[in-house]
Amino acid sequence: MDIQLEKKKGLRPKHYAYIGAGLLILFVGWKLISGSSLSTFRTDKERLSIAQVTEGKFDDFITINGYVAPIATIYMDAYEGGRVSEKLIEEGAMVKKGDIILKLENMGLYEQILQSESNLALKQNDLRSTRLNFDSRQVEGRRNLATAQYDLQRAKRNYDQNQALYQDELISSEVYLTSKENYELAQKQYEIVKLQTEQDDALRKTSLAGLDTDLQRMRKTLSMVYERLDHLNVRAPADGQLGFLDAEIGQSIAQGQRMGQVNVLTDYKIEADIDEHYIDRVKRDLVATLERNENEYPLRVRKVYPEVRNGRFRVDLVFTADKPVTIRSGQSYNIKLQLGESNDALLVPKGSFFQSTGGQWIFVVDAAGNEALKRPIRIGKQNSRFYEVLEGLEPGEQVITSNYDSFGDAERIVLK
């Protein structure tokens, strides 16, 4: 009879192997869990731009691109509307102030001139007739005044004689009283004629003065209409180059419509657009330099436009000394604009990481070059080559300067 043997309880050698494998798996899992607490992005090292943080001289300038423009541009707007009848000068030609560029015709203005001339002629005839009437009345008034004065003198003389005769009782009382009454009547008639003559003279002065004023006003109006007629000749407003001319023969031009411009070429300026990041630092009278054929030409910021469009604002710069001999409108130049004095600083080469981070953080590569960790930093000024680092980095450290958009929210970059 077979005897059944009991299995011995306890761990056997193979059990130790299983336990060891399990602990190893647990340890590896723990390492993976602890290491993955930071969000990680994996990428090829060759696809990134990595630069070293260095100490050096920070030149506080920026390089901007500008275009040559005339020092001034004068626009030509139509004083009077009309139809283009003649085009005397073409675009690009040099003009002198007062040169006729276009000739317009305006039938309505011609009719207005004829009407004004007709009204002026009528007013002149009215004034002439009125003056003749007043002159005739003045002559008649003076004749009547002279007659009244003569009658007064005769009546007075007769009265004086009769008064003496009456006192000597040589004439009757009736004759004396009659001469006295005739004298008093002549005296009153003289006063009336004199008063009427004075009033006629005053009326003549005021009426003729009013008519003269109206006539002068009509003449002034007519001269203004003649000026409008002269405005149908579109003239160059200044010496320079006719920049553009938007008018062709037969085209109707409305009053106030812009027809062209004259570029004043006595000097030039540079128009440049600058990133809005610098808008608080760019001021009038900052100095700049233009390099051309190994020569430097000094510039000065003359005007800063406050309006920002598409993230950029505009400035005008003018030459403060010599300018390139071959300079022409429309040429493009790179300009070095000095924003401040140079100083010693910690420098990071410029890169597109700034657009992703705003300069608030950066990925720093470890000493082995296998991974990079996100680190907060503080950036100050910048020029065309470097950012000035104020906090967060040390000299000799390696940083990723290429674009971070593909990294997402990763805080750790594994470099393969």
Q: Where are the domains of the chain?
A: 38-59+343-415, 61-68+265-338, 108-230
pTM higher than 0.85: no
> Which residues lie below 8 Å from residue 53, measured CB to CB, with a gap of 6+?
346, 347, 348, 389, 393, 394, 395, 396, 397, 398, 399
CA dihedral 224, 226, 228, 232 (to 10 degrees): -170
Q: Which fold has domain 61-68+265-338?
A: Elongation Factor Tu (Ef-tu); domain 3 (2.40.30)
- CA 376 to chain CA centroid, Å, is 44
Same CATH topology for 38-59+343-415 and 61-68+265-338: the answer is no
Whole-number pLDDT of residue 323:
84
Whole-number pLDDT of residue 206:
82
pLDDT tens digits in sequence order for the chain, 416 residues long = 445 545 445 555 555 566 666 666 665 554 444 444 578 898 888 888 899 999 988 888 888 899 998 888 889 898 888 899 999 998 888 899 999 999 999 888 888 878 877 877 787 777 778 778 878 888 888 888 899 889 889 989 998 998 888 888 888 889 889 988 998 998 999 899 889 888 888 887 887 777 778 778 777 877 777 777 888 889 998 888 888 888 889 999 898 899 889 988 888 899 999 988 888 889 999 999 888 888 889 999 999 998 999 989 999 999 998 888 888 888 888 898 888 777 888 999 988 898 888 889 999 999 888 899 999 999 888 877 888 899 999 999 999 999 998 888 889 989 88
Strands of the sheet with 386-391, listed across from one edge: 54-58, 343-349, 386-391, 378-382
Buried b (16+ CB within 10 A) or exposed e, 228-256: eeebbbbebbeebbbbebebeeeeebeee
Whole-number pLDDT of residue 5:
47
Q: Identity (one letter) of the amino acid at 167?
A: Q
Instruction: Supply angle C-alpha 266, 288, 59, rounded to 5.
Output: 170
Q: Which residues pair with 339 in a beta bridge?
A: none
Among 142, 148, 146, CA closest to 183: 148
Strands of the sheet with 50-52, listed across from one edge: 40-43, 412-415, 371-376, 361-365, 398-400, 50-52
Whole-number pLDDT of residue 20:
63
**Tokens (6 digits) for 70:** 């005339």
- Name the CA radius of gyration of the chain, rounded: 52
Gap between the Cα atoms of 233 and 225, Å rounded: 14
The one-character DSSP state at 93 is -
Whole-number pLDDT of residue 271:
92
Gap between the Cα atoms of 150 and 158, Å rounded: 12
Whole-number pLDDT of residue 21:
64
> Which residues lie below 8 Å from residue 49, measured CB to CB, with a gap of 6+?
351, 400, 401, 402
Half-sphere exposure of 113 (CA within 13 A, CB side): 13
Whole-number pLDDT of residue 15:
56
Q: Are 274 and 313 in contact (CB under 8 A)?
A: yes
Among 353, 366, 373, CA closest to 397: 366
DSSP for 146-169 reads: HHHHHHHHHHHHHHHHHHHHHHTT
Q: Is 343 exposed, middle or buried (0-12, 13-18, 19+ CB in 10 A)?
A: exposed
Buried b (16+ CB within 10 A) or exposed e, 380-402: ebbbeebbbbeebbeeebbbbbb
Whole-number pLDDT of residue 398:
92
Whole-number pLDDT of residue 22:
66
CATH of 38-59+343-415, one of 3.40.50.300, 2.40.420.20, 2.10.109.10, 3.40.640.10: 2.40.420.20
Helix (H, G, I), strand (E, B) or coil at 416: coil
Q: Are 401 and 351 in contact (CB under 8 A)?
A: yes
Q: Are 408 and 363 in contact (CB under 8 A)?
A: no
Instruction: Supply angle C-alpha 168, 169, 174, rounded to 5.
Output: 130
Q: Are 251 and 225 in contact (CB under 8 A)?
A: no
Tally of residues, the chain: 416
Whole-number pLDDT of residue 17:
60
Whole-number pLDDT of residue 223:
79
Half-sphere exposure of 116 (CA within 13 A, CB side): 19
Instruction: Give the Å distances, CA to CA, from 292 to 70, 117, 132, 297.
Output: 19, 63, 81, 8
Among 38, 40, 52, CA closest to 407: 40
**Tokens (6 digits) for 121:** 């002629």
Q: Are 41 and 412 in contact (CB under 8 A)?
A: yes
